[in-house]
Amino acid sequence: MQKNGEHRQQVADKIIVALDVGSEAEAYALVKLLSPPLSYYKVGMKLFTICGPRIITRLKKLGAKIFLDLKFHDIPHTVASAAGIITSYGVDMFNIHLGGGGEMACAAVEAARETADRKGLPWPLVIGVTVLTSLDAQTLRETGIERSLDRHVVGLAALGLESGLDGVVASSQEAPAIRARCGEDFRIVTPGIRPSWSARDDQERVLTPRQALDAGADYLVIGRPIIKHPSPEKAIEKILAEMYK
């Protein structure tokens, strides 16, 4: 029988804290404050643009696992080059945008794995972005996409699976359909998670942490409810209590 502490840690390992802060010092302080019980952190465009690649190596020295959220979207050769470079920094997960197509996705996976093998590193998880959680059906139509939001997300997830990706970034509202189409081993990373006590902010397709887990999400990306809370530690405890029910 599994001990409660072990189960609680497994739940904590599903949280990825979005380090959407304005300086390396703020990111460093949050990682030191929240680890343990947390271990996974997202470095997005804002922090990466401010700090550059050094933020990855410095946070890794604290024992953090890093999800690099830059949503690579370019010609296959360029994305492959970026994937290889990022892998050499030891990221644990990074993403590409599935709007770039299957050839681009395949190139990213191949470059990441080749670089990891050459440098003796673990393969990073290569995850495909489907539709941002701030978008809705009307926004898709503005960009010329006529199929329903659900069908579009699942179609992109299937493309990612066929291209060798490890999983996708998608709203937890689409997670059950993705799981049915892509199988149990395909990772689903869900942003836009909002605990029951927090504001929705600019997110459209959101669920609570417990709802997201029940829907089949593997990882929950949570930013503002934690980093903007007066006590990030207390926010984590409230979120874990909500997830652990």
Domain positions in the chain are 4-240
Q: What is the pLDDT of residues 150-193, one digit of tens each?
A: 888 999 999 999 999 999 998 888 899 999 999 999 999 998 78
Model pLDDT, residue 1: 39
Q: What is the pLDDT of residues 11-32, one digit of tens each?
A: 889 999 999 999 999 999 999 9
- Percent helix, strand, coil in the chain, to 5, is 50, 15, 35
Q: How many of the other CB atoms lie within 10 Å of CB of 105? A: 26
Coil, strand or helix: which one is 90? coil
Is residue 193 within 8 Å of 212, Cβ to Cβ?
A: yes
Would the pTM count as exceeding 0.75?
A: yes
User: Which token pair is 244?
Assistant: 């652990």
Cis before 37? omega within 30: yes
pLDDT means per 10 residues in the chain (245 residues)?
Answer: 65 93 96 94 97 96 97 97 97 97 98 98 96 71 75 94 96 90 95 74 67 91 92 91 76
Spatial separation of the C-alpha atoms in residues 237 and 210, rounded to whole Å: 14
Spatial separation of the C-alpha atoms in residues 107 and 169, rounded to whole Å: 18
* Beta strand spans in the chain (E): 15-18, 40-44, 65-72, 93-97, 125-129, 167-169, 187-190, 219-222
Model pLDDT, residue 21: 95
Model pLDDT, residue 196: 74
Active site amino acids: 71
CATH architecture of structural domain 4-240: Alpha-Beta Barrel (3.20)
> Going by C-beta distance under 8 Å and a sequence separation of 6 or more, which residues neighbour residue 89?
53, 56, 57, 60
Spatial separation of the C-alpha atoms in residues 217 and 210, rounded to whole Å: 10
Model pLDDT, residue 220: 95
Q: Which of 168, 164, 211, 209 has the alpha carbon at shortest distance from 189?
A: 168
Spatial separation of the C-alpha atoms in residues 118 and 87, rounded to whole Å: 11
